[in-house]
Amino acid sequence: MNTEVVRFLQQESARLQRENQALQGQIQTLHRYIEGLAQLHWASRRIAEEEQPLELLDQCLYDTMQIVGCQDGSLSCLDQSTGELIFTLVHGMLEKALVGRRWRCVAPEQLPPAFKTAGT
């Protein structure tokens, strides 16, 4: 066999192996996305009947972080009387420092009507 043909076949084999590895990584990522989305779908169906909604929301936050591949995430609630966001659920490096911490985003009178009536 011609050495050029052998060299071409070796290079093509190496390229295909690299491409295969990249595709395997993408497949694993897609599997994680699908698993996470399935968990979020399951949680969304249970949220109305849940006695401990914070536990379910905490799991949703964690699942969402897994889907997007981030290390830190939080869920905040709006205190309508003060216009402050309260860090309710936190995952990551600042978890202990942020849980319960308040952050003033706007004055209460500047809140849009949709925020003032949320949850009612």
Taking the C-alpha atoms of residue 100 and residue 113, their distance in angstroms, rounded to an integer, is 25
Amino acid identity of residue 88, one-letter, is T
Taking the C-alpha atoms of residue 61 and residue 40, their distance in angstroms, rounded to an integer, is 9
pLDDT tens-place string over residues 11-38: 999 999 999 999 999 999 889 888 888 8
Q: Please choose, from the candidates 93, 39, 27, 91, the residue with its C-alpha nearest in 3D space to the C-alpha of residue 65.
A: 91
pLDDT tens-place string over residues 66-111: 888 889 999 888 888 887 888 889 999 888 888 888 877 766 666 6
- The domain total for the chain is 1
Measured CA distances, 55 to 1, 47, 77 (Å): 66, 10, 15
Look up the domain containing 79 and give its range.
3-116
